[in-house]
Amino acid sequence: MSIQAPHPHPLSAPSPVGSLRQVEVVAGVIRDARGRVLLARRTEGRDLAGLWEFPGGKHEPGESAEDALARELHEELGIEVEIGTALINVPQRYPDKRLRLDVRNIAAWRGHARGREGQALVWVPPQKLPSYSMPPADRPVVAALLQPAHYLVTPPPGEGDEIWLAQLEQALANGVRRVQLRAPGLDATRWRSLVSRAAALCRQAGAEALVSRDADLAAEFGIGLHLPAERLHALSARPLPAGLLLAASCHGIEDLQAAQALGCDFAVLGTLKPTPSHPGVAGMGWKGFATMRESVSLPIYAIGGLNPADIEEARANGAQGIAAIRGLWPTV
C-alpha cells in the first residue's frame, strides 16, 4: 500500500487553460458484500503510474456516461454492472489536460473482479481509503464518500445563549455533522463559555466542531480551526496538529492553493449566489466554482445562498457539499 501525501503541491498548467485538451472520464464505486471499496492501480507506462484510483475510463464518441462505465468495467475487470446514483463530478486541471471525473455508485455487479489489463486490485475498508496514494481527481471522491455533505456556520447568538444552544442541538438532531462555531464581535468570556458547551453538544452527537479564527480556543477544547482567507497568506506552517481539523474560507484560486499548501483538510469557496450578508456582491455561479475547483484536490464546500436542496448540483460541479448559515440553522 502507498501512503498518500495528505496535501500535495498545487497543480499548475504550463499552457493557458483554454488551450488544454478536455478529457471526460467516468468511474465507479464498487463495493463487496463486506462494504469494502475496489481500487485499481495505474500500470507502468501511463501517466500517474503506481497511484490507486476508482476503476473506469474514458468516454468513446457518442457514448453515454452509463454505457461508457459499463463497458470499461467489463473490459478492465470482467464484471457486469448495474449503474446506480451519481456521487460526484470532479473537474481537475493537470499540466497537459483538463479532466472531468464523473463518479457513479455501482448498485449491483456480477462476476469475479480481476485485473484484465495487468493492473493490481485491492478491496479497501472505506475508512482506510485516505491512506492510499491517488491522482488529484480521485481525492475529492474519497471525501464525498466519507465526509459530511453539510457544513453549518453558526449565526451570532444575539441575546439568548440558551436559545442559540437549543438551535444548535436541533441542527445536530437534523443530521448536521460538521459545524463552524462563529460569532464575530462577541465578548470573549461569553464566547469561550458558548464554545465549551457547543463543542460538548457536537461530541455527544458525533459531529465535528471547528471554531472560527481562534487557534487557542481550538487547542483548549480539542476541536478544529476555521481560518479566514486573509490568515492563509500570513501563515507559513499549520497552526494545529494533524489530529485536529483545519479549514479555510476562500474566494479565489490563490486562496485555495494557499489552503492546500498550508495543509487544510477542506475549504469553503464562495460567494456562489448573492446573499443578504454580502449585499452588492455578484456570485461566482457554479461555472465559476467548477473552474476554481480544478486548481486543487481539497474537498471544497460551496457557500452563498445555498441550502440542502442544492447538494445534487453542488456535487455535479465538484463540491463536497454546501456550507450555510440560514440554509442549515433551524428556527425554534
Give the Cβ contact number of residue 179 at 10 Å: 29
CATH code at position 34: 3.90.79.10
Q: How confident is the model at residue 280 (pLDDT cuts 50, 70, 90)?
A: low
Share of the chain above pLDDT 70, in %: 92
Asked whether residue 124 falls in the same domain as residue 158, the answer is: no
CA distances from 293 to 63, 240, 288 (A): 26, 25, 9
Does residue 2 form part of some domain? no
Rg (CA), the chain: 21
Do residues 128 and 168 both lie within one domain? no
Residue 178 β-bridge partners: 208
Whether 119 and 207 map to the same domain: the answer is no
pLDDT tops 60 at residue 15: no
Residue 207: inside a domain: yes
CA dihedral 190, 324, 9, 58 (to 10 degrees): 160
Residues 170 and 294 placed together within one structural domain of the fold = yes
**Is residue 171 domain-shared with residue 114, that is, in the same domain?**
no
In DSSP notation, 101-134 reads: EEEEEEEEEES----TTS--EEEE-GGGGGGB--
**Helix locations, the chain, DSSP H:** 65-77, 139-146, 161-173, 188-205, 215-221, 229-232, 253-262, 285-293, 311-316
| 226 within a domain of the structure (yes/no) | yes
Q: How confident is the model at residue 5 (pLDDT cuts 50, 70, 90)?
A: very low
- Could you tell me if 306 and 324 are in contact, meaning their C-beta atoms sit under 8 angstroms apart? yes
> CATH no. for residue 264?
3.20.20.70
8 A C-beta contact, residue 250 and residue 268? yes
Mean pLDDT of 103-118: 97
- Amino acid in position 60: E
Beta bridge partners of 209: 179
Q: What is the pLDDT of residue 242?
A: 85
User: In angstroms, rounded to a whole number, what is the distance separating the alpha carbons of residues 326 and 322?
Assistant: 12
Per-residue pLDDT tens for 209-260? Answer: 999 999 999 999 999 999 999 999 999 999 999 899 999 999 999 999 999 9
Query: What whole-number distance in Å separates Cα of residue 39 and Cα of residue 29?
Result: 9
Strands 150-153 and 321-324: parallel
Q: Are residues 130 and 35 in the same domain?
A: yes
Number of domain units in the chain: 2
| 80: containing domain | 17-135
- 131 and 158 belong to one structural domain: no
Residue 152's beta-bridge partner residues? Answer: 179, 324
pTM reported for the whole predicted model: 0.92
Residue type for 330, please? Answer: P
Give the β-pairing of 266-269 and 300-303. Answer: parallel
Query: What pLDDT score was predicted for residue 10?
Result: 41
CA–CA distance, 40 with 19 (Å, rounded to integer)? 30
User: Model confidence over 19-51: pLDDT tens digits?
Assistant: 799 999 999 999 999 999 999 999 998 889 999
Same domain, 131 and 159: no
Does position 134 have pLDDT exceeding 80, yes or no?
Answer: yes
Among 83, 107, 135, give the residue marking a domain's end.
Answer: 135
